[in-house]
């Protein structure tokens, strides 16, 4: 087998971020080398605490570097408590902080880890893109040391989820997203075009719990809150497998249908956070996922839990 894909997960855990974490840990084709945290679903303090909780659950000393606490150009953001719960994991009660954050900030950690492993690190960003924009500002050469960037974010041919026009991660820091899309590195965009087509139901989470009563049970427990949110917005077929799909795309790009498009972001007005194509832009094309082998990805996600207790 080929060497596993080394990834840094840039994350705002978050219910589907927790699912993505277990995907990254359990998948034999992925080596999770570190996590960087970001505001988004929760505050960055809660995101960092939750990242340590996840690492602790699998008994791994994974470096966790604390990231930005607010968007680049705005002083305020509102955590998505109605989607992920006040503490990020639905109704699951928080536990005290376990672990000490890495001495480097998230952006510095991204720059440093890519520089020390040139051409080897995939940054898988599943929250707002602020840490990635700060890493680019800190050292523009990261575009040459990173292998590629895979993001969960954006909506290409479909509507948004946090607004009619925008997907939540891009909406929460459109300025950062614009800087990330303008940089000369390979970006794979795993947006709502694919993630909203992969729906997980109560029965799927029951299967995950049956396969893995401990870790899978933890996911099944928090999924109740998530499924309830989806029902509250009239989605009755299950919850979208957003962040795990991005992790899976890091190692199994062949399961996705991809087109190249130059992407920019709306920064003002009621369409803020909208990702749109600019065919004549002077930027590197983004590899935009527009289709996915739904059943293959979903089965892979569920069966990854077989490695856990
Ligand atoms: C994205 O927004 C967050 O709520 C999820 O964790 C995911 O990263 C989906 O739009
Ligand atoms: Ca997320």
Question: What are the tens digits of pLDDT across the range 137-169?
Answer: 999 999 999 999 999 999 999 999 999 999 999
User: At residue 309, does pLDDT exceed 90?
Assistant: no
Neighbours of 295 (CB within 10 A): 9
**Which token pair is 191?**
């947006």
Ligand 1, atom nearest to 127 Cα: 8
Ligand 1, atom nearest to 80 Cα: 4
Q: pLDDT averaged over the chain?
A: 97
Question: What are the tens digits of pLDDT across the range 202-224?
Answer: 999 999 999 999 999 999 999 99
User: At residue 75, does pLDDT exceed 90?
Assistant: no
Ligand 1, atom nearest to 12 Cα: 6
Residue pair 90/11 in contact by the 8 Å Cβ criterion: no
Predicted pLDDT at 2 = 84
* 196 Cβ closer than 6 Å to some ligand 1 atom: no
Q: Which residues, including other chains, have CB under 8 Å from residue 121's CB and lie 6 or more apart? A: 6, 7, 8, 33, 113, 114, 145, 146, 147
If one counts the domains in the chain, the total is 1
Predicted pLDDT at 69 = 95
Predicted pLDDT at 163 = 94
Work out the pLDDT band at 257, boundaries 50, 70, 90. Answer: very high
d(CA 105, CA 82): 28
Question: How distant is the alpha carbon of residue 128 from its chain centre?
Answer: 8
- Reply yes or no on whether 300 is catalytic: no
d(CA 26, CA 62): 14
In the set 84, 102, 171, 242, the catalytic residue is: 242
Neighbours of 28 (CB within 10 A): 10
Question: What are the tens digits of pLDDT across the range 16-74?
Answer: 999 999 999 999 999 999 999 999 999 999 999 999 999 999 999 999 999 999 999 97
* 87 Cβ closer than 6 Å to some ligand 1 atom: no
Mean local confidence (pLDDT), 94-118: 96
Q: Please tell me the distance between residue 120's alpha carbon and the centre of ligand 2 in angstroms.
A: 23
* 288 Cβ closer than 6 Å to some ligand 1 atom: no
Q: Please tell me the distance between residue 167's alpha carbon and the centre of ligand 2 in angstroms.
A: 11
Predicted pLDDT at 77 = 82
* 113 Cβ closer than 6 Å to some ligand 1 atom: no
Q: Please tell me the distance between residue 225's alpha carbon and the centre of ligand 2 in angstroms.
A: 15
The dihedral region occupied by 59, where left means phi > 0, alpha psi between -120 and 50, and beta the remainder, is left
Predicted pLDDT at 76 = 73
Q: Counting ligands in written order, which one lies closest to the CA of residue 83?
A: 1
Q: Please tell me the distance between residue 255's alpha carbon and the centre of ligand 1 in angstroms.
A: 21
User: Which residues keep their CB under 5 angstroms from ion ligand 2?
Assistant: 12, 14, 17, 126-127, 243
| Count of helices and strands (H, E) across the chain | 13, 12
Whole-model pTM: value is: 0.98
Predicted pLDDT at 203 = 98
Tell me 156's DSSP state: S
Domain that holds residue 110: 5-307
Angle (CA) 232-234-238 rounded to 5° is: 90
- Supply φ then ψ for residue 10, to 5 degrees: -100, 110
User: At residue 126, does pLDDT exceed 80?
Assistant: yes
Residue pair 47/11 in contact by the 8 Å Cβ criterion: yes
Mean local confidence (pLDDT), 280-308: 98
Q: Which residues, including other chains, have CB under 8 Å from residue 251's CB and lie 6 or more apart? A: 4, 5, 27, 29, 30
% the chain with pLDDT above 90: 97
Q: Please tell me the distance between residue 10's alpha carbon and the centre of ligand 1 in angstroms.
A: 12
Q: Counting ligands in written order, which one lies closest to the CA of residue 12?
A: 2
* 275 Cβ closer than 6 Å to some ligand 1 atom: no
Q: Which residues, including other chains, have CB under 8 Å from residue 198's CB and lie 6 or more apart? A: 240, 241, 245, 292, 294, 297, 298
Q: What is the CATH number of the domain that holds 134?
A: 3.90.245.10
């Amino acid at each position: 087998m080929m060497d596993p894909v080394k990834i840094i997960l840039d994350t705002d855990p978050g219910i589907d971020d927790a699912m993505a974490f277990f995907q990254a840990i359990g998948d034999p084709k992925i080596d999770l080398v570190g996590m960087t945290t970001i505001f988004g679903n929760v505050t960055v303090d809660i995101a960092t605490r939750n990242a340590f909780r996840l690492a602790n659950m699998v008994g791994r000393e994974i470096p966790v570097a604390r990231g930005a606490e607010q968007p680049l150009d705005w002083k305020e953001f509102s955590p998505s408590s109605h989607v992920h719960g006040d503490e990020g994991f639905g109704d699951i009660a928080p536990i005290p902080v376990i672990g000490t954050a890495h001495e480097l900030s998230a952006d510095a950690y991204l720059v440093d880890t890519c520089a020390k492993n040139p051409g080897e690190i995939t940054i898988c960003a599943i929250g707002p893109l602020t840490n990635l924009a700060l890493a680019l500002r800190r050292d523009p050469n990261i575009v040459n040391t990173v292998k590629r960037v895979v993001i969960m974010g954006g909506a290409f041919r479909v509507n948004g989820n946090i607004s009619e026009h925008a997907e939540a991660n891009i909406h929460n820091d459109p300025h950062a997203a614009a800087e990330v899309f303008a940089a000369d590195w390979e970006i794979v965009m795993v947006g709502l075009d694919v993630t909203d087509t992969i729906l997980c139901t109560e029965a799927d989470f029951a299967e995950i719990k049956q396969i893995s009563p401990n870790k899978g049970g933890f996911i099944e427990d928090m999924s109740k809150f998530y499924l309830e949110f989806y029902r509250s917005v009239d989605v009755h077929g299950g919850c979208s497998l957003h962040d795990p799909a991005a992790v899976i795309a890091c190692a199994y790009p062949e399961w996705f249908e991809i087109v190249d498009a130059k992407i920019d972001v709306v920064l003002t007005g009621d369409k803020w956070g909208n990702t749109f194509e600019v065919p004549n832009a002077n930027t590197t094309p983004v590899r935009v996922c527009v289709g996915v082998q739904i059943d293959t990805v979903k089965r892979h996600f569920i069966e990854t839990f077989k490695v856990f207790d």
